[in-house]
Amino acid sequence: MVGLLFPGQGSQFVGMGRDLFDGHDLARAAFEEADDALGFALSRLCFDGPESELIRTDNAQPAILTHSAAVLRCLQHALGEDIVMAAGHSLGEFTAWMAAGSLTFADAVRLVRRRGRLMLESGRVRPGTMAAVLGLEDHAIIAVCEKASGDDGVCVPANFNSPGQTVISGDVAAVERALTLAKEAGARRAVRLNVSGAFHSPLMQAAGSGLAEALSAIDFRTPAFAVVSNVTAEPVTDVAAARALLRRQLTAPVRWADCVRTMAAHGVREFLEIGPGSVLAGLMKRIDREAGVRAIGSAAEIQTFATA
């Protein structure tokens, strides 16, 4: 049984999708539809940059979703009806709901563009930061964040990516304290990330009402297969629950390792990462060494998979 994985922000790069656009009519149509839906040439930004604009969260999110959609369209015939479940990392969860048929592509790309703008504005209203911590167990990370939080700021776990790899998020002062505490607790590495806000933390609270409004304004249909929620790490098919969990995801940690384990527990043994990069495939090797995983994001990788 096949499970789909969709990457989140950070997987974008200048030149993403150009080979798909040039080599596949279905992929070209996806980029053109995104341009029409957003009212500007997202495709040109993906292909030519500049990087400073592409990495901005309100541009990166629709760019990554569009790339994933383009790849998925090219694979539909090869995949057939083998897909039983999907999950996506943060932004990628919206792509997963699109892949499951709950969101149209046009609605999905506009929705994540709106989500990116809301997150960007929240980061300006209450500036924060994020940091990667390697080499500490989840319970140790939680303890570090609790100890680092104080009157001048909060620090929380943001992404439980794989055993020993976590991202923390919050106010700058609290995150800086957490980095020191993490090193004292034995972390192999603890370093700040170059981000525009404290994603998946209480600092994103201001974006919640706007995202809820955007979610309620679009048609959200029953999915063809379950999508595993970042918030609960459980399969979801109920539309009302999906909307509520996608809003909560803004301020809740991404329980990625648990999401993958849930898919494996439901019988998924072949995982396909659909979209730019191979970050999730790399994490899989630390989460479940027995599972088969393949990243598919380029025209060459599509051809290899379709041939096989």
Q: Is 68 a catalytic residue?
A: no
Beta bridge partners of 5: 87, 273
Please count the other Cβ atoms lying within 10 Å of the Cβ belonging to residue 22.
11
| Catalytic-role residue among 11, 43, 68, 90 | 90
Q: Is 206 left (phi over 0), alpha (psi -120 to 50) or beta?
A: alpha
Q: What amino acid is encoded at 221 in this protein?
A: R
Measured CA to CA, the distance from residue 9 to residue 50 in angstroms comes to 17
Beta bridge partners of 3: 85, 271
| Catalytic-role residue among 200, 201, 278, 298 | 200
Please count the other Cβ atoms lying within 10 Å of the Cβ belonging to residue 80.
9
Q: Is 90 a catalytic residue?
A: yes
Phi, psi of 134, rounded to the nearest 5 degrees = -115, 140
Q: What's CA 287's distance to the chain center, in Å?
A: 17
How large is the greatest C-alpha to C-alpha distance in the chain, in angstroms?
58
Active site residues: 90, 200
